[in-house]
Amino acid sequence: MQRIFDEHKVRIVKSLDGLWNLTPDNGSGKSYPVFVPSVWERIPDLTSFRGVCTYKRSVEIAEPGTYLLKFGGVSHTADVYLDGQFLGHHYNAFTAFQVLAENVTAGSHTLTVVADNRFSEKSALHVPNDYTTYGGINRPVELHKVEEAYIDRMAFSCEETGKGKYLAHVSVFLRALSSIENADVLLSVAGGTEKAAVPALSAGESAEIKLDLAVRNVVPWDVLDAHLYDLTATLSVNGQFTDDLIDRVGFRTVKIEGERILLNGKEVRIKGFNRHEDHGQFGMSLSVDAMMDDLQLILDTGANSLRTCHYPNDPRFLDLCDALGLLVWEENHARQLPSEVFRTDLFREQCRVCNEEMVHQHCNHPGIYIWGLLNECESDTEYGRTVYAEQIAQLRALDPTRPISFASCRKFTDICLDLVEVVSYNIYPRWYEDDSVRHYTEKLVAWMEEHGAKTKPILITEIGAGGIYGYHDPFAKPKWSEERQAEILEEQLTAIHAMPRLSGAYLWQFADVKVADEFALRRPKAQNNKGIVDLYRRPKLAYLTVKKIYHEI
């Protein structure tokens, strides 16, 4: 399943997760049984295979007709075929996509997915980086039977109209596969229902049906106090229910008021972690229970928020954050891209698509309170400003209900801070810069105030230090020892959370992650060792340091 709850009761959905056959294009002539979803690096022969693999499985169709094949993610490029017929292409491991198969006969069919995780001139977002681009069908696969028209997605937002009272604004996006008339959409959420007529549509046409729905006696969604409601849209044609879509929403309001971020009118102070989708055993394809294990640890430390560094996350992880009341900074797929990549039309197009998929697919998650973009890219040049402005405008148009920010590393040179509602910086005093945390941060904040951050909230989106699991030296406490990491994090978090001008910080980072070979010389064991737990979630000394401080704040 692509969510932690059923998205359909009317539509017939079948999971295609399970055993597939995988053939790497490496001249070995070998094939392997493989469980989907997973990364192919878990196959011993393919632990470091960067290339093309072909996945195949048979699909039994009982009812002839039209089907959607929905992929939660394929890393990092996919070409999909049914019985050899090309159905569609997608780039980017971190966003979902679907392909349409029409006139499918009853019987057995062969589904083929060609996955490619190579770095090349065709890939501007998946590049050698301080995290790993794995290979494979990394998120769940589903087969959906659709009729003459179907509900493609919904967009939900709400405004508070009184205690426990909200006005829900919902857009239901439909696609017609053949002409329809005499159709309507029935919407229900939190005990309210509303119906709207659907205009006659011809084959291939789409429609956005807007509905407003007043609800009462609603319990708001709040930090660490989650209350979720099923949002259900049902499509009927000629009086017959033909399709539906269920999402889970929370009633909450996010506002920026001067230097403060407000959730339901109360100030938010972030005690967060950066978390990559990476695990020593699962690679980027964590099972939901492994995701929940991470969140149990994160809740245990007293944290209240996660930053999805540096790409859109698995919707099932976002569902868990919604259910646990964890705030999420979700961001598009970009990390410190070199100019020769950043300054290409391919990069701008691949980012544009990623932004649209991220917002369309994730805008209903109540936990997401802010959209981030372009981590540590070129926000200190005129060209960079053009790109930031273009993408901020795109995100604002896609979702006017959430603030936007970007994590800058351009200390004292950034020229884009005026473009966003929340100003954010990644800083590493005591690790990369040997300066006192308080002095370093106060100096930078003073500069920010003069360069676009005045009267805006400021977040520290990264702060941390490295520590190699199991490396101890309590006397010298050299860098990379667990003792030194704990000591630095103590100074960092204590100083940051003693500065009322800041709205909080995201520690870099929750868990160690594997990095690309190109980064290995700067990363012991070819890992980014700044986690408070290692690849396998074994806690370092710093874990207890963070837990003590987060519970005291």
Q: For the CB of residue 427, give the shortest distance to ligand ADA in the complex, in Å.
A: 9
Provide the minimum distance between the beta carbon of 284 and ligand ADA in the complex, in angstroms, as a whole number: 15
Residue number with CB closer to ligand ADA (133 or 375): 375
Beta carbon of residue 312, minimum distance to ligand ADA (angstroms, whole number):
16
N- to C-terminal Cα separation, the chain: 38
Q: Shortest Cβ distance from residue 465 to ligand ADA (Å)?
A: 9
Measured at the alpha carbon of residue 388, what is the angle toward residues 384 and 393, in degrees to the nearest 5? 150
- Least distance to ligand ADA from the beta carbon of 275, Å? 11
Which residue's CB is nearer to ligand ADA, number 294 or number 376?
A: 376
In the chain, helix, strand, coil percent, each to 5? 20, 35, 40
Closest CB to ligand ADA among residues 309, 351: 309
Q: Quick one: 104 or 488, whose CB is closer to ligand ADA?
A: 488
Residue closer to ligand ADA, measured from CB, 279 or 335 = 335
DSSP notation for 436-494: -HHHHHHHHHHHHIIIIITTS-EEEEEE---B-TT---TTT--TBSHHHHHHHHHHHHH
Which residue lies nearer to ligand ADA by CB, 97 or 506?
506
Residue nearest to ligand ADA (CB): 130
Find the shortest distance in angstroms from Cβ 508 to ligand ADA: 6
Element (H, E) at 549: helix 541-552
Mode of pairing for the β-strands spanning 458-463 and 260-263: unpaired
Which CB, 245 or 306, lies closer to ligand ADA? Answer: 306
Residue 332 is encoded by which pair of tokens? Answer: 């598009």
Cis peptide before 37 (omega within 30 of 0): yes
Helices 482-496, 541-552: inter-axial angle, 10-degree rounding: 20
Whole-Å CA distances, 493 to 429, 432, 541: 11, 16, 15
Q: Which residues bind ligand ADA (CB under 6 A)?
A: 130, 309, 335-336, 375-376, 409, 426, 462, 508, 528, 530
CB of 98 to ligand ADA, least distance (A): 30
What minimum distance in Å lies between the beta carbon of 311 and ligand ADA? Answer: 11
**H/E element holding 356?**
helix 345-362
Q: Is 373 in contact with 404 (CB distance < 8 Å)?
A: yes
Cβ proximity to ligand ADA, 375 vs 441, nearer residue: 375
244 or 278: CB nearest ligand ADA = 278
Residue 469's nearest CA partner among 439, 511, 518 is 511
Residue 175 or 523 with smaller CB distance to ligand ADA? 523
Nearest-approach distance from CB 431 to ligand ADA, in angstroms? 8
Question: How many Cβ atoms are within 10 Å of 238's Cβ, its own excluded?
Answer: 10
- Contact criterion met (CB below 8 Å) for 150 and 173: no
Closer Cβ to ligand ADA, 152 or 330, answer by number: 330
Instruction: List the helix and strand counts (H, then E) for the chain.
Output: 8, 31
Shortest Å distance, C-beta 488 to ligand ADA: 13
Region class of 77: left (phi > 0), else alpha (psi between -120 and 50), else beta: beta
By CB neighbour count within 10 A (0-12 exposed, 13-18 middle, 19+ buried), where does 83 fall?
middle
Say if CB 324 and CB 298 are below 8 A apart: no
Min CB(396)–ligand ADA separation in Å: 23
